[in-house]
Amino acid sequence: AQKITQTQPGMFVQEKEAVTLDCTYDTSDPSYGLFWYKQPSSGEMIFLIYQGSYDQQNATEGRYSLNFQKARKSANLVISASQLGDSAMYFCAMREGSDKIIFGKGTRLHILP
Amino acid sequence: ETGVTQTPRHLVMGMTNKKSLKCEQHLGHNAMYWYKQSAKKPLELMFVYNFKEQTENNSVPSRFSPECPNSSHLFLHLHTLQPEDSALYLCASSQVGALFSGNTIYFGEGSWLTVV
């Protein structure tokens, strides 16, 4: 069964608008971590933001924020004031246990000028 | 500059060749990973090494052979590969054992492999 679900294979957003990338997860472990990564066409995976399952507040890193809704098991990424350089693949990931991290299928984001 | 370096960045090999991918992390982490990313599938976890011990082998064919001589180095030895093994191979590292410290997983830039 898929543990990380990203339902948006592709999105087109106008530059300077905010964008929300969806991610839902499935786990029975009360302790877990959630991550978002950006992958530009060059292939490198760039860490964006992290949310721990016991964190009381939503994580924020500059223009990135994570809308963590624990009861709904969702961890959506919000990018404010999108820029052309934000065009990339975005992956949601979850750490279960101590060393295993699994990824969703990704969302390809296109920022339009 | 990434704390995880992979070589080579690009590799073209024949199906009868033997080659190796190398990964080195400079972050002091105790866990290292190999992921495979192909066009038709999502990011797939292949192997996990925790304190040099293999803790995950995600049903990977034996033509892929990992080696972790120490916590800073990880190799992926390749032999008799198939064209469908052509993909981006990503190495990563993390510090395990402290789940709530934001100990994320850091990736190298990847090795693009083409099997002809």
Number of neighbours of residue B14 by Cβ within 10 angstroms: 10
Residue whose C-alpha is closest to residue A76's, from A101, A95, A59, A89:
A59
Asked if the peptide bond before residue B66 counts as cis, ω within 30 degrees of 0, the response is: no
Contact B45, B35 (CB under 8 A): yes
Nearest Cα of chain B lies from the Cα of A93 at a distance, in angstroms, of 10
Mutation choice for B interface testing from A2, A31, A45 by most B CBs within 10 A: A45
Residue position matching structure tokens 């809704």: A69
Question: Which chain A positions have a beta carbon within 8 Å of B43's beta carbon?
Answer: 91, 103, 106
Burial of B53 (0-12, 13-18, 19+ CB in 10 A): exposed
Tens of pLDDT, residues A28-70: 888 888 999 999 988 889 999 999 898 889 999 999 999 999 9
Tens of pLDDT, residues B68-101: 999 899 999 999 999 999 999 999 998 876 544 4
Residue B110 and residue A93: Cβ atoms within 8 Å? Answer: no
Q: Distance between CA B6 and CA B86 in Å, rounded?
A: 17
pLDDT above 90 as % of chain B: 63
Burial of A69 (0-12, 13-18, 19+ CB in 10 A): exposed
Contact B106, B31 (CB under 8 A): no
3-class SS of residue A29: coil
